[in-house]
Amino acid sequence: MGNKQSVFTHEQLEAYQDNPFRQRIAQVFSDDGDGHMTLDNFLDMFSVMSEMAPRDLKAYYAFKIYDFNDDGYICAWDLEQTVTKLTRGELSAEEVSLVCEKVLGEADGDHDGRLSLEDFQNMILRAPDFLSTFHIRI
């Protein structure tokens, strides 16, 4: 990776990925939540994203990544952010809100208008391609 710094900035990581969630990944795995990762954080990230990590672990970290405001729940605003980042703004606002409504309708088990960790896990662990898409091969 070039320089001998002990801390990785998220600008440096951006050069390596076109991932729409790259900033969130860096924030989730860094110690102070601002996107700067030490070697330990870096290793944690790759260990969670590798093929060998158990499903529950991946589901937990996926939940944290998609929880943009870090409040422990995926609310409608988090969902809107996710969908917008996924489609790079190509969907109209109406379509985005339709998608968010559908997601909440499908996965919100306790009907509180937001996805808790249990709702999320219940839904994601049944997905056939979760393991194959949520991983980075080094």
Partner 1 sequence: MMMAKKWAKFLRDFENFKAACVPWENKIKAIESQFGSSVASYFLFLRWMYGVNMVLFILTFSLIMLPEYLWGLPYGSLPRKTVPRAEEASAANFGVLYDFNGLAQYSILFYGYYDNKRTIGWMNFRLPLSYFLVGIMSIGYSFLVVLKAMTKNIGDDGGGDDNTFNFSWKVFTSWDYLIGNPETADNKFNSITMNFKEAIIEERAAQVEENVHLIRFLRFLANFFVFLTLGGSGYLIFWAVKRSQEFAQQDPDTLGWWEKNEMNMVMSLLGMFCPTLFDLFAELEDYHPLIALKWLLGRIFALLLGNLYVFILALMDEINNKIEEEKLVKANITLWEANMIKAYNASLSGNSTGPPFFVHPADVPRGPCWETMVGQEFVRLTVSDVLTTYVTILVGDFLRACFVRFCNYCWCWDLEYGYPSYTEFDISGNVLALIFNQGMIWMGSFFAPSLPGINILRLHTSMYFQCWAVMCCNVPEARVFKASRSNNFYLGMLLLILFLSTMPVLYMIVSLPPSFDCGPFSGKNRMFEVIGETLEHDFPSWMAKILRQLSNPGLVIAVVLVMALTIYYLNATAKGQKAANLDLKKKMKQLPQLVASSVPRYAGGPEGLFTLLFKTSHFWKGQEHKHCEVAVPLFP
Q: How far is the CB of 56 from partner 1 (least distance, A)?
A: 4
Dist. CA 137–CA 122, nearest whole Å: 26
CB of 9 to partner 1, least distance (A): 19
Q: Least distance (Å) from partner 1 to the CB of residue 12?
A: 15
Paired tokens of 21: 């969630």
With CB under 8 A as the contact rule, which of the stretches 3-11, 27-35, 36-44, 95-103 interacts with partner 1?
A: 95-103
What Cα–Cα distance (Å) separates residue 45 from each residue in 26, 27, 128, 134?
9, 11, 22, 12
Q: Of 115, 55, 18, 41, nearest to 33 (Cα)?
A: 41
**Site for partner 1 (CB under 8 A): which residue of 21, 24, 68, 114?**
21
Which residue in 13, 28, 30, 66 binds partner 1 (CB under 8 A)? 66
Residue 19 Cα distances to 15, 22, 59, 71, 135, angstroms: 10, 5, 18, 23, 12
Tell which one of 31, 33, 102, 113 touches partner 1 (CB under 8 A). 102
Contact status: 95 vs partner 1 (CB under 8 A): yes
In whole angstroms, what is the distance from residue 86 CA to residue 95 CA?
A: 13
Binding positions for partner 1, rule: CB under 8 A? 16-21, 49, 54-57, 60, 62, 64, 66, 72, 79, 82-83, 86-88, 90-91, 95, 98-99, 102-103, 106-107, 109-110, 117-120, 122-124, 126-130, 133-137
